[in-house]
Structure 1
């Protein structure tokens, strides 16, 4: 079972974490409250899918072994996600590409961001700035209002 949780360092924003086989973590309400206090706003974005749901959905993708995702408002880089998505090194390159595309699609449906500092890790390969850029051509416009979950497009065989 995969579950979203929270890990916190004193003075740092809340980091949402999901690992394969992790135990149950406090209810979403507690995560939203702590995130709201730490970030100065609720963890539910004004448009898009809530951060804890993004983490759960990415963690639920086939082959994902861990997800660490944090939303930050940085004066230099603007609003952005930071973190890491790690997939099973045993995935084929095609399978890893599929998971990568689906994870980016899920992130695209979250908060509006200017950049991304999310790394995608597959074995020895690490893609930096994962999910950075405009996904409109691939995934359509970002959600205009809050959504309960992200839509995930099935992968097409190459």
Structure 2
């Protein structure tokens, strides 16, 4: 673990058997001071603790034939809300079909891009490496 940017990355005061690399730029101290990943994971953990659709909801995959996107919905039986989770694993923008939910208003639960609450369109463009979760009333 690269804890800081020191000679042995804060792991040891003596030369370890595995010499650290890139600790000048990739380390825990730098992430805590000005990174985004730590804060994003804190948001995900808070959602898991506060959102029953995430912690107890059932999962149903969709867009199974799309090689670029992982898409699923979280729902509770006899509950009018659901969360759609959409993740683009590639470095190119990608358009997906959301006809099933077209016209329904949604609230952004979490995203690694700037998104605002809106209405579901027939298609949605996911940005490169975008992870988006939206809450809809169905």
Q: TM-score range by the shorter chain?
A: under 0.3
Query: TM-score scaled by structure 1?
Result: 0.24
| Structure with the larger RCO, 1 or 2 (CA within 8 Å, 6+ apart) | 1
The structure having more radius of gyration, on CA atoms, is: 2
Q: Select the structure that is richer in helix.
A: 1
